Structure 1
Amino acid sequence: MCAAPGSKTFQLLEMIHQSKEPGLLPGALVMANDLNVQRCDLLIHNTKRMCTANLIVTNHEAQNFPNCSLAKDYSEAYKDNCKSQRLEFDRVLCDVPCSGDGTIRKGHDMWRKWNSGMGNQLHLLQVNIAMRGIALLKVGGRMVYSTCSMNPVENEAVIAELLRRNGNSVELLDVSSELPELVRRPGLSTWKVQDRGSWFQTHDDVPHDRKNVVLPSMFPSSNITEESHAVCGYVEINTDNRGSFSRNCDIEETSNINHDMDGVSTDPTSNLDCTSNVVNSKFPLHRCMRIVPHDQNSGAFFIAVLHKLSPLNGSQIQGTKVQHTLGKGRIKQLHKEPEPETRPCETILTCQQNNVLEVDDAELLGRRQNLSADNQTSKDKNSTEVEMVFNDVKSGREESGDIMKLQKQSRWKGVDPVLFFKDELVIKSIKSFFGIKESFPLEGYLVTRSTDNARRMYYISKSVKEIVELNEEVGEQLKIASLGVKMFERHRSKDGCSCAYRLSYEGLSLLLPYISTRILYASPLDFHRLLQYRTINFAHFVDSRFGEEAASMMPGCCVVVLLEGHENADSILKDPTTIAIVCWRGKGTMNVMVSPPDRTDLLERMAYRFGIKASAEEDEKLMDLTREDGNIMRI
């Protein structure tokens, strides 16, 4: 749900591809989500090496992840005959944002940035993200909740709140027998909460002006009060006193480590009455796992595995409504459809079923009201401008063609739509040019991100296709940043190639077992030369027969396969260890169509496997010959 930068996503992709032969796609898929657009780009970059058609990257607030349900209401959505009409997952990895104090050994910035209030700030966000994860989980599925923090407010308190809200619908699993070599400790059953230097054992001990910051769910007590943000409850936040409300970023450090600003002792053992009883959670939190650094020379982590036993009821899905008390008046947030744009991270309390957007303080509420007024004015202006543009275009073009273009625009601002590529003539020319076998389906599995003159085509698996089709039916609720693997790209060559598209190196490993033409087999030395110099004249290959075969081939995209010995052509194409690259047969030269990082990786693999390294004299000689030919090509 919070997937960037992508190391866990990459491992999950490796798991689903583990037992599949080349050219065969697994039935599963991985959907990776992150709120930040830049982090989504990093996630896409890090998972690109996997070259998988079974990945979707989305850009949403995790706690607001779309339902993608075709049912009219909640009761209809979870009937057995509607399973294909809603988006659910067998497994959910809920690696929530946390204070990160468990990374203090490797993250030296934490020594300067960390304070005891960071966990309190994130607690409610973590609860809402985890609740959304459970709502998206199939009955019988599992959700892993994890942090890299040691703070029980971010760990056991969140799990206890999930169990409290979901009742008998969710259970906490005992996974102590899993991974026996992993040194772990049981979860805590009792803890205290710190706020502004003071320690509290129950929510009743919290000063009245801090009850809106230190929430009941942060404590191990199982009592549910009217103030609790439990399901269908109301949280009353009194902001009569300006100093009574403190925003998350306003946590202050005191000069006296033993007393807070009001003179209350900050010692966790002396803050409470010595006669008070220790409060223990009624939930089996010992089933959680704590990984501490000094047990096995690692970072600190918290892990809990939850099992969904039955569908959540409507009130559990709807979440919490919030009331704000401003002096004598009350302001309630009304149910409204969210704008298809990313909302600020500070807005962390959400009602998922009706997409209710709620705020956590009066200051933010006032700011949102001002923004709403500005946005309404902007919307009216934009509506007028759009109408004028539409009328101008409509008068100069065919009505049907223009309406089709408007319908192909993405719902999400700044994000290209996902469109199925349906040009049968182009697909037929691609299959004919590369000799793609009928056993590899292209029709219905190619998508593009541009409405006309598609430059790139991406191949998606059957499972991803079902998600894309569902997303179209529900009005593009998913904001898809990336999906599938790039398979074909439109080229700009004027060599007279009969096919307008060339192969992409990213999708070559998937398509290679099904290609029957446009394939050349190179010796290790010639293959190394291609990678080293990118462009080589046919006459300069070590193997003259390879140069002759390349010269006799029609201009256009081709595949060069590394031939290590006397392997059979059919068997080598189906071998998962086969190394192949995409090239372009130009006018007198062979040009490599592989990115510099991938070329460097392949050169290192060849140096390790064959020990081939070109000498400096040979490098200079071959580069001079290439410059004299002047046939270097740019596709």
Structure 2
Amino acid sequence: MGRGGNRNRGGNRKPAFRGSKGKNRNTRDTRTEPWSDVIRGNELFEGYYRNGEFLDEKEFEEMWKYLATNLPNSFRFTGTKADALAVREIFKKRYVPGITQVTFDGEPVDPPRPVNAFPDELVWDMKTDKKVIRRSPPFAEFQKFLVAETTSGNISRQEVVSMIPPHFLDVRPGMVVLDMCAAPGSKSAQLAEMIHGDEEERVKKAATNVDTNADFDNEGGDYSDGGRSTGLLIANDTDFKRAGMLVHQVKRLNFPNLIVTQHDASIFPSIELPSGLGEKRQYLKFDRILADVPCSGDGTARKNVNVWQKWTPKDALGLHNLQMRILSRGLQMLKKGGRLVYSTCSMNPVENEAVVASAIETCGGVSKVQLVDCSNHLPNLIRKPGLSKWKVYDTSTIGGEKKTAHLFNSWDAFCKTKNKYQEQEPGRTFSPKISEGMFPPATASEEERIPLERCMRVYPHLQDTGAFFIAVLEKKDDIKVSQVQTSSKETTSIPTVGLGAVTPVPSKSATDSEVEPTILEKQANAGSEAPSQKRKLERVEESTTPKRAKVLASNGDNVGTKGDASMQVNEAAEPTANGLANGNVTTSTNELVDALADKAVSKISSREIVKKLEPSSQTQKEYFEYLPADDPTIADILNFFGISDRFPRDRFMVKNKEGLLLNKLYYTSELAKTIISLNKDRGMKFVHCGVIMFVAHKTRDKDLLKCPWRLQGEGIKILAPWASKRIIKCVSRTTLYKMLIEMFPKLPKEGNTELGEVGEQLVNLEPGCCFVKIEKSEGEGFPFDMVFPLWRHPGSINLMVDKDDRKAILLRLYNEQNPNLINHVADAAKMAEEKTKANDAMEEETLGEDGEAFEGEEGVNEVVEEVIEE
């Protein structure tokens, strides 16, 4: 779904409404009137969808009526399925009954309802007016719950139609998935959950030497890494700031099988995998790809009122080429048998069916890429079939005025109309972006026909949502992305570049070797390292050649987009049997690329290369350095917690250039390590990877601690099943409540600890961090398993959960609406400050007398210093 600004970069996610010719679009809302006062009408907008024969007149009127109303609020329960169902049950039992009884102005108020299109009642929507929420105590209480759980990551406030595309990808644990245009990250979070599967339950069994496939439904997926999913999600966005938003969204999942990158999706670089000495390079192929591309966003008119004021047919015409390039690149990177979902939040077929049809034709037809029939998937989702016929909308002007609207049935009709006006009104201009690929494909035999009816259209009136388009494509065979025609039916060859000089490459025939595009392959490969990790062969395809260099123009913008110049970007193909037997491969475009790249390297310094590769908006480079498996500090930490030898030691990472173990220790999956280690010096822009597992405990007396490292909430669930030491079990709701409501409660050496069963276990435990484990129990117990890090001080303890999460847990488990957290250290610090002031005053009065400190002050100061250091 398209949501924003810089439309000429494949990762941007907002709808684009103004700006032109590749410049960044300023989509900041400049309205001065409230949303309720915005006129929801636009003659061009309505005229196209009324006269374009998308729906019959009666259904169009109903759809248009819904489109002009506000969108219902919707949310989704997230995380592991077990946790999501548990939080859902709390919501249903505690809040829904009270909300159902609410009336307003004598009329009953519609409560939140589950959306039938999705399974397990994990998606809900509500149409309640804000005035009701403000004035109704049951709704106000529910609102607090919603906000708290959203902050904790258990609920995602997401538009209903935005949740649809990930469901059609059919992601299973163990798959390698790419989200090409991921920000702000709600769909990435869905994909991450799917890759994760029921990993937690399988790891618990694997850690106790139980068969990880026993007692589980045969749902498929690869959990061969000690019960952990072997899959990986790469979430990409072209804009550095929006990539940061993406990181914030997905970090809440505490998911080590995740990498966030920052690249233009239309030229997403190939990811190299390890290959043996003398072997040809291998590149990662994805099992699943989501191409939720930038679009005009007219399907969001219910929530984005700017659409009504700014809609123009030129938005779709200007985005078609970019969408086509992103989809083509996605199909290139897909493995044979893999699935790609293409989606937009636009109703315009120029951005939807036209893009899909053009991409399939460009890739070699239905024998190479097929549309998947998903009519039996999500059967409760009401949808319309894709269009086989449509009209292209444009407005012509004379000197920027005298605007005339046109609907074209075919490319020939457009050309005839344009030629007619050139003779009658030479000054009248049409959009230069219109190309033949925007029109319905020519009639073909049944075997070669593209079944566009398998695409899916979701309109607002069908189930009271926004509008969305979804197409599911499956790659049947190796493909070749052929030349693309411009609006004038001319074809040009791909320009290649060696940093400064642009040289045309001769066009290639359909039998030539295929090449993988990347960013300045030769330059970026200097100094790359090959890790020892291996990956299953079904996830890679051998490349016969290095990858094509990224095309750069003198102004830094891309060259070779459809409508400006042709694109011949071909996929890495396996060499023929004869070629392998003879030890040679057909000469191709790559030799020219290599020569140009080598020549460029000899002419410019490495510093200039790095400057070219780094984005101007990225002010600080992120480093990802892995520690050796035999690192002594890691060994000491894991031994302190009794971590099983079967837990991997070689996946710990730090984020500093020198690779020093200074403050934070991150943990990643095996494949994430392989990809980052091999590609970080090849021009790949990695923004995020890894879950924080440990943080250094900074205190003056750290040398007295056996392990001056603290467990972190982000990674504790990953580590806990493998631990045999420092485990504290909490079974009482009263004990957990005390640890949540009080920070740094005292732990006396003798007598009642007032911490129940937890205090009894902690009394004889030496200072340091430990696990607090809570198991799911029926009745008045706990709704799901939990584990928290706890620091055992010499005279106190602290459950290491921040204030917001404490409040969310207190609300979730104890229905504590406005908890008053007690911070004993803060109180002690305040007392120490007051005593210090009193002591200073006394010293001034008794000048010359013994200036010893007040009795007990030294002990308080130690506590204050300790909390300051933390």
Q: TM-score, normalised by structure 1?
A: 0.70
- Mapped to 1, the partners of 2:826 and 2:271 lie a distance apart of 56
* Amino acid corresponding to residue 122 of structure 1 in structure 2: L
1:621 Cα deviation (Å)?
Answer: 9.5
Q: Quick one: which of 528, 544, 558 aligns to 2:737?
A: 528
CA gap 1:470/1:323 in 2 versus in 1, 3 angstroms: closer
C-alpha deviations, 1:366-402, integer Å up to 9, x for none?
Answer: xxxxxxxxxx9xx97995999xxxxxxxxxxxxxxxx
- In the other structure, the counterpart of 1:593 is 800
What per-residue deviation string (whole Å, max 9, x for no partner) do you get for residues 508-558 of structure 1? 011111112222234432322322233222149523664354343222222
Among 244, 253, 257, the alignment partner of 1:50 is 253
Superposed CA deviations along residues 186-224 of structure 1, whole A, max 9, x for unmatched, are 111111212223322233424376473112211114399
Deviation string 1:331-386 (CA, Å, 9 cap, x unpaired) is 96658984699xxxxxxxxx98442234379xx99xxxxxxxxxx9xx97995999
Deviation at 1:286, TM superposition (A): 1.1
Q: Which residue of 2 aligns with 1:274?
A: none
Sequence identity percentage: 37
Cα deviation for residue 145 of structure 1 reads: 0.5
Distance 2:829 2:753 in 1: 12
The within-5 A match list for 1:121-132 is: 121-132=318-329
Secondary structure of 2:271's counterpart equals coil
The SS at the match of 1:552 is: coil
Match of 1:300 in 2: 467
Runs of 4+ in 1 over 6 A off after TM superposition: 379-382, 563-566, 612-616, 620-623
Given the alignment, which residue of 768, 776, 782 partners 1:556? 768
Instruction: List per-residue Cα deviations over 1:118-170 (Å, max 9, x = no partner).
Output: 11111101000001100010001111111111000000100110111012311
Aligned-partner SS, 1:151: coil
Cα pair 1:40 1:481 within 8 Å, conserved: yes
SS at match of 2:325: helix
Q: How far 1:471 moved relative to its partner? A: 2.4
Determine whether 1:94 maps to 2:291: yes
Structure 2 match to 1:29: 232
1:609-630 deviation line (CA, Å, top 9, x unaligned): xxx68986x9599975785556
Question: Do 2:551 and 2:560's aligned partners in 1 also have CA atoms closer than 8 Å?
Answer: no
Offset from partner CA, 1:99-134 (integer Å, 9 cap, x none)? 111111122232223222111111101000001100
What amino acid sits opposite 1:212 in the alignment? P
CA root-mean-square deviation = 4.0
Change (3 A) 1:178 1:352: farther
* 2:392–2:408 Cα contact (<8 Å) kept: yes
Per the TM alignment, residue 504 of structure 1 is displaced from its structure 2 partner at its CA by 1.3
How far apart, CA to CA, are the structure 2 residues paired with 1:222 and 1:162? 14
1:412-437 alpha-carbon deviations (Å, 9 max, x no partner)? 97332322112621111111211111
Determine whether 1:434 maps to 2:625.
no
CA distance in 2, matches of 1:503, 1:20: 21
Q: How does 1:149-160 map to 2 (within 5 A)?
A: 149-160=346-357
2:442 equivalent to 1:222: yes
User: Separation in 2 of the partners of 1:384 and 1:2?
Assistant: 29
Question: 2:757 and 2:182 mapped to 1: Cα distance?
Answer: 49
Kept in 2, the 8 Å contact 1:581–1:594? The answer is yes
Q: Which residue of 2 aligns with 1:287?
A: 454
Aligned to 2:385: 186
Residue 175 of structure 1 corresponds to which residue in structure 2? 374
Pick from 418, 441, 455: which aligns with 2:624? 418
Map 1:258-297 onto structure 2 (within 5 A): 283-297=450-464
Relative distance call for 1:174 and 1:87 in structure 2 (3 A) is same
CA gap of 1:589–1:113, structure 2 versus 1, over 3 A, is farther
Contact 2:347–2:469 (8 Å) recurs in 1 = yes
* Aligned residue type for 1:218: M
- CA offsets per residue over residues 48-92 of structure 1, 9 Å max, x none? 2211111111111111111124699xxxxxxxx97x921110111
Seen in structure 2, the aligned counterparts of structure 1 residues 334 and 489 have a Cα distance that, compared at 3 Å, is farther
Code of the aligned partner of 1:505: G
Query: Counterpart of 2:338 in 1: which secondary structure?
Result: strand
Partners in 1 of 2:260 and 2:391 — Cα distance?
A: 39
The answer to which structure, 1 or 2, has the higher relative contact order (CA under 8 A, 6+ apart) is 1
* Aligned AA (1:557): C
SS at match of 1:599: helix
Q: Which residue of 1 aligns with 2:21?
A: none
Native 8 Å contact 2:335 2:475 kept in 1: yes
Indicate the residue corresponding to 2:700 in structure 1: 494
- Paired residue secondary structure (1:488): strand
- Stretch of structure 1 that moved more, 10-19 or 138-147: 10-19
How far, CA to CA, are the matches of 1:576 and 1:435 in structure 2?
28
**Aligned residue for 2:411?**
203
Is 2:666–2:691's contact at 8 Å kept on the other side of the alignment?
Answer: yes
How much has 1:174 moved relative to structure 2?
A: 1.8
Task: Tell whether 2:202 aligns with 1:7.
Answer: no
Q: Does 1:355 align with 2:563?
A: no
| Equivalent residues in 2 for 1:434-473, closer than 5 Å | 434-442=641-649, 444-452=650-658, 453-454=660-661, 455-471=663-679
Amino acid at match of 2:550: N
CA contact (8 A) 2:357 2:441 kept: no
Q: Aligned residue for 1:166?
A: 363
TM-score, length basis structure 2? 0.52
Query: In the alignment, is residue 514 of structure 1 matched against residue 514 of structure 2?
Result: no
Would you say the 8 A contact 2:362–2:482 is kept in 1? no
Q: Give 1:302 deviation, angstroms.
A: 0.6
Tell me how far apart the structure 2 counterparts of residues 305 and 621 of structure 1 sit (CA, whole Å).
57
Moved more, 7-16 or 123-132: 7-16
8 Å Cα contact 1:323-1:332 kept in structure 2: no
Match of 2:271 among 68, 85, 90: 68
1:544 to 1:172, Cα distance in 2 relative to 1, 3 A: closer
Distance 1:316 1:19 in 2: 44
Q: 1:401: which partner in 2?
A: none
2:518 and 2:548 in contact (8 A); partners too:
no
Q: CA deviation at 1:181?
A: 1.3
State the AA in 1 paired with 2:747.
F
Q: Distance in 1 between matches of 2:637 and 2:342?
A: 45
- Taking the aligned partners of 1:66 and 1:622, their CA distance within structure 2 comes to 51
Residue 107 (1) aligns with residue 315 (2): no
Change (3 A) 1:428 1:338: closer
Distance 1:20 1:315, change over 3 A: same
Aligned to 2:284, the other structure's residue is in SS state: coil
Is residue 118 from structure 1 mapped to residue 333 from structure 2 by the alignment?
no
Distance 1:564 1:433 in 2: 27
AA aligned opposite 1:585: R
Task: Classify the secondary structure of the residue corresponding to 2:738.
Answer: helix
- Contact residue 538 and residue 548 of structure 1 kept, 8 A: no
Structure 1 residue 564: Cα displacement: 7.8
Matched to 2:194, the amino acid is: M
* CA shift digits 1:227-263 (9 cap, x unpaired): xxxxxxxxxxxxxxxxxxxxxxxxxxxxxxxxxxxxx
Distance 1:32 1:382, change over 3 A: closer
Match of 2:747 among 538, 557, 561: 538
Q: Name the CA shift for 1:545/1:222 in 2 (closer, same or farther; >3 Å).
A: closer
- Amino acid in the other structure paired with 1:2: C
Give secondary structure in 1 for the equivalent of 2:363.
Answer: helix
Q: Secondary structure at the match of 2:181?
A: coil
Give, as a single letter, the amino acid of the residue that structure 2 aligns with 1:451: K
Q: Distance in 1 between matches of 2:472 and 2:806?
A: 41
1:466-500 deviation per Cα after TM superposition (whole angstroms, max 9, x unaligned): 3334425xx43432111232112222123322224
Contact 1:456–1:490 (CA under 8 A) maintained in structure 2: yes
